[in-house]
Chain A
Amino acid sequence: MNCEWVRDNISAYIDGELTGSQKEMIDSHLLACPECKAEFDRLLTAWDTLKLWEDKQPPLYLKETILNSIKRERSSRLLRILLPVAAILVITFSIVLFYNETNHYDKKTLISEKTKGEISIQTTKGDLDEDEIIANLQIIEEKDFFDSIEMLKNIDYLPVIENHDDDRSSMGYFSA
């Protein structure tokens, strides 16, 4: 065994990182070689001196600080999950509420106007331009339909039409 191999492995020998046979080889070499033994002592002394740099006690508040930061992280993690869900729910609820209110308001307005007998489809349309009427034709027709339904609900009975007079429509009876 040569000194070079021992010098290369002497640090690992100090750290107990060699196999049993390698350790034995260095053990016996150090007994026979004063130069390698001096090198071993030099490194070992320096390595042992590091023990003088003792552990420092962490400050008492450190653990509490760590745990508090984890609590904050936990809360913000929960918020990150709940916030989008809450936002979606609020938006959905608002949309539903808005449409319900709009629909209800439209129906209510038309019903009140119809029951007073003041406004017909023409007067409803009268507030609108020709272009607007065309654009909103479907809505107006739907309003007419609801109007008819409401009117039917409001009358006590339907008169029986005995003769098939073309000039008298069911609407004629209602207005009468």
Chain B
Amino acid sequence: MEDIDIDFKLMEKVKKGDESAFEEIVSRHYHSVYNLANRFLYSTSEAEDITQEVFLRVFRASKSYTPKAKFSTWLYTITKNLCFNELRKLRSVQILSIEDEMLPEIPSKSDSPAIKLEKEEMKTKVRESVEALPANLRIAVLLLKYHGLSYEEVAQILGCTVNAVKLRVHRAKDFLAKSIGYLSEETK
């Protein structure tokens, strides 16, 4: 609740032209926006562009901003819309970014090579399984799992009912269980 109040207060200051308040808004949320876009599109460069565009839109709309829901709900709605637009564009030109695959992850020092390898394999499986989800299910999973949102908040962002979110999440979990389970059986 305190976090919500902080965002509202900051947006009030932004409305009055306070530059430092906007900087504070960016500092508080750009990490989440970037990660949502990155996981959804699986591209760091697209995620950077989208994060920049999200905050530009927030700034443009700051004068007319009225707190109807949580600030983060509004922020994720803008992010989701931009991600879907980007996905449509990417699909239309059939470009798939693989840059993340080319960037090696820094391994944890405590794990043995075998565990590291197994973890890396599992991470790849998870990423591929989430990526294989249909866009509507994927965004629901990302918002719920990685951003800690409730069904109601996800419903607001996706513009659907709570029951629809419940159903989507259930289907996504079933899909992920089959996908990850199938892959792990295959590698045995």
Give chain B nearest CB distance to A29 CB in angstroms: 17
Known: A11-B169, A52-B119, A56-B44. A63 touches B26 (CB 8 A): yes
Q: Which residue from chain B places its CB closest to the CB of A68 in the assembled complex?
A: B52
* Cβ–Cβ < 8 Å partners of B44 in chain A: 56, 59
* Cβ–Cβ < 8 Å partners of B130 in chain A: 50, 53
Asked if B176 and A46 make an inter-chain contact with CB atoms under 8 angstroms apart, the answer reads: yes
Q: Which residue from chain A places its CB closest to the CB of B120 in the assembled complex?
A: A52
Q: Which residues of B contact A (CB under 8 A)?
A: 19, 22-23, 26-27, 30-31, 34-35, 38-39, 44, 47-48, 51-52, 55-56, 59-60, 119, 122-123, 125-127, 130, 141, 144-146, 150-151, 166, 169-170, 173-174, 176-177, 180-181
Asked if B177 and A65 make an inter-chain contact with CB atoms under 8 angstroms apart, the answer reads: no
* Cβ–Cβ < 8 Å partners of A11 in chain B: 166, 169-170, 173
Q: Which residue from chain B places its CB closest to the CB of A65 in the assembled complex?
A: B52
Q: Which listed residue (B27, B56, B151, B173) contacts A17, Cβ 8 A?
A: B151
Do most interface residues of chain B lie in helix, strand or loop, or is the interface mixed?
helix
Q: How far is A89 from B159 in the complex, measured between Cα atoms in Å?
A: 48
- A165 at the B interface (CB under 8 A): no
- A156 at the B interface (CB under 8 A): no
Within A149-167, which residues are at the interface with B (CB < 8 Å)? Answer: none
Asked if B22 and A47 make an inter-chain contact with CB atoms under 8 angstroms apart, the answer reads: no
A-B contact pairs, 16 of them (CB 8 A): A8-B170, A10-B170, A14-B173, A17-B166, A52-B126, A53-B39, A53-B123, A58-B34, A58-B47, A58-B48, A59-B48, A62-B34, A65-B48, A66-B51, A66-B55, A73-B56
Asked if B38 and A15 make an inter-chain contact with CB atoms under 8 angstroms apart, the answer reads: no
Asked if B176 and A42 make an inter-chain contact with CB atoms under 8 angstroms apart, the answer reads: no
Known: A15-B144, A43-B177. A58 touches B51 (CB 8 A): yes
Q: Which residues of A contact B (CB under 8 A)?
A: 8, 10-12, 14-15, 17, 42-43, 45-47, 49-50, 52-53, 55-59, 62-63, 65-67, 69-70, 73-74
Q: How far is A46 from B177 in the complex, measured between Cα atoms in Å?
A: 5
Known: A53-B123, A53-B126. A69 touches B177 (CB 8 A): no
Asked if A70 and B56 make an inter-chain contact with CB atoms under 8 angstroms apart, the answer reads: yes
Known: A45-B177, A46-B181, A53-B123. A67 touches B26 (CB 8 A): yes
Give chain A nearest CB distance to B55 CB in angstroms: 5
* Cβ–Cβ < 8 Å partners of B31 in chain A: 55, 57-58
Q: Which residue from chain B places its CB closest to the CB of A55 in the assembled complex?
A: B35
Asked if A56 and B34 make an inter-chain contact with CB atoms under 8 angstroms apart, the answer reads: yes
Q: Which listed residue (B48, B127, B169, B177) contacts A62, Cβ 8 A?
A: B48
* Cβ–Cβ < 8 Å partners of B174 in chain A: 43
Give chain B nearest CB distance to A11 CB in angstroms: 4
Asked if B180 and A63 make an inter-chain contact with CB atoms under 8 angstroms apart, the answer reads: no
Asked if B150 and A46 make an inter-chain contact with CB atoms under 8 angstroms apart, the answer reads: no
Asked if B126 and A50 make an inter-chain contact with CB atoms under 8 angstroms apart, the answer reads: yes
Asked if A52 and B123 make an inter-chain contact with CB atoms under 8 angstroms apart, the answer reads: yes
Give chain A nearest CB distance to B60 CB in angstroms: 7
Give chain B nearest CB distance to A175 CB in angstroms: 71
